[in-house]
Amino acid sequence: MFENLTDRLNDVFKELRRHGKLSEQDVDKAMRQVRLALLEADVNYAVVKDFVERVRVRSVGVEVSRALNPAQQVIKIVNEELIQTLGEPERLNLSGPKPRTLMLVGLQGSGKTTAAGKLARFLRSQGERVLLVAADPYRPAAVRQLETLGERLGIPVFYEEGVLPPKLAQKAVDEARKGGYTILILDTAGRSQLDDSLMEELRAIQSRLDPAEVLLVADAMIGQEAVNIAKGFRDVINLSGLFLSKMDGDARGGAAISIRSVTGVPIKFLGTGESLEAIEVYDPGRLSSRILGMGDVIGLIEKAEAAFDEKTAQEQAEKMMSGEFTLQDFADQLRQLRKMGPLGQILDMLPGGANLANQVSPQEAEQQLKMTEAIINSMTHQERRKPDILNASRRRRIAAGSGAQVQDVNRLIKQYRDAQRLFKRLKKSGMRGLPRLFG
């Protein structure tokens, strides 16, 4: 997310850090580079102009000239002004009588149906009873797509063939009341472009249901066109928020920076990948940190808490510190790590993660993880528990079964044994080696 923009901004900040004091000319040069970086990321021109001017005025003022570290103060200003541009966070409105209706709108291909599944999973994890509604009878297989997502999630989907969406939506509300559902998520029809028939149907549904939320699902990868689409919907129906999908694409992600300023509609959720777990509650402070390469440690902790079973993690930690963990334990940890999402996204959330990615690309690291998992999966249960029995013929069999080379198997066993010895030494030393290892 924002990889190109982050790299460009970090180059600007690196140059600023070379100066003990910053002249007005230094600031002006840096602001020109910031302007170019934002425009290349497809941030709205007027938003860029206003943002850069606010940063420039503050950067040549007293707060920077008197700072002990002027460059760091400019970065702090950029962060603060970026957060202001991204807008205040707003949460879903889940007040009022049940079921509360969330109406999703958007053009075809924006990721609306997938967003419905992500929201359903997210809200269920918050203790809500969710009913999905397939209100798109026009797109081939749209209903089946939502039903498939519902089956994967174990969440029911309401649909009646031959019933027009406004009436179907009303029937769904009645069904939700009878079934004791607290949330109803309406996946409405999209079109390839904004048209009168689409808007008229959406207005009719909104009029009948008076939904708690009307969320526009907009594809962040189409850049400023996403802003124009948001303006088009906002001018016709009452939008309460935005769900920006496909934020894991980097090419034109700057739409996220300008869409709130231009439309006045708050962003409420980000879709950060294809899986149903890839959804984030919008937080401008955390997003700004990631754009500026400062990471998002809170978000990383939340991902880890969602992916790791606390009891299992505690047991595995105890095994590791005793030096008694097996290759089976190692494979279990890898599976838990993979649940957190692609390694590129995890690196994105680490402070300085961009530097790590420059040393080993996320794609290479992902491939290495897959190979390690494949090697361990090619072992028998006994071999995973007692790696000492892995003689040459067994290693050749494992390499052939996993599509790896024998040296890859040897390397994994060596890493495993080195880790065992390390943790045994640490335990004997009472953990005194930790500061030296990680400091």
Over the stretch 324-346, which tens digit does the pLDDT of each residue have?
Answer: 678 887 777 776 666 666 655 55
Tokens linked to 184: 């109803």
Tokens 């907009």 appear where?
218
Beta partners for 133?
Answer: 158, 186
What's the topology of domain 3-86? Four Helix Bundle (Hemerythrin (Met), subunit A) (1.20.120)
pLDDT at 68: 62
Tell me the C-alpha distance between 134 and 159, whole Å: 6
- 387 preceded by a cis bond (ω within 30 of 0): no
What is the Rg, in whole angstroms, of the alpha carbon atoms belonging to the chain? 26
CATH of domain 100-294: 3.40.50.300
Q: Distance between CA 263 and CA 226 in Å, rounded?
A: 11
- Under 8 Å between Cβ of 185 and 146: no
User: Are the C-beta atoms of residues 341 and 275 closer than 8 Å to each other?
Assistant: yes
User: Which tokens is 162 given?
Assistant: 């031959």
| Residue 202: its H or E element | helix 196-209
Q: Which helix (H) or strand (E) holds 253?
A: none
Q: What angle do CA 265, 267, 270 make, to 5 degrees?
A: 150
Question: What confidence score (pLDDT) does residue 349 get?
Answer: 53
* CA separation for the pair 273, 95 (Å, rounded): 29
Compute the average pLDDT of residues 383-391. 87
Position 356 scores a pLDDT of: 45
- Domain 308-438 CATH class label: mainly alpha
pLDDT value for 320: 61
Domain with CATH 3.40.50.300 in the chain: 100-294
How confident is residue 150, by pLDDT bands cut at 50, 70 and 90? very high
Cα–Cα dist 288/269, whole Å: 15
Work out the average pLDDT over 303-308.
56
The token pair that represents 21 in the structure block: 């004091």
Please give the residue that has the higher pLDDT: either 48 or 415.
48
pLDDT, tens digit, 9 for 90 and up, residues 15-46 = 888 877 778 888 889 999 999 988 888 888 89
Q: Where in the chain is the domain with CATH 1.20.120.140?
A: 3-86
Task: Please tell me what DSSP assigns to residue 96.
Answer: S
The yes-or-no verdict on residue 156 having pLDDT over 70 is yes
For residue 71, give Cα distances in angstroms to 55, 60, 75, 84, 198. 13, 11, 6, 20, 51
Which uninterrupted H or E stretch holds 132? strand 130-135
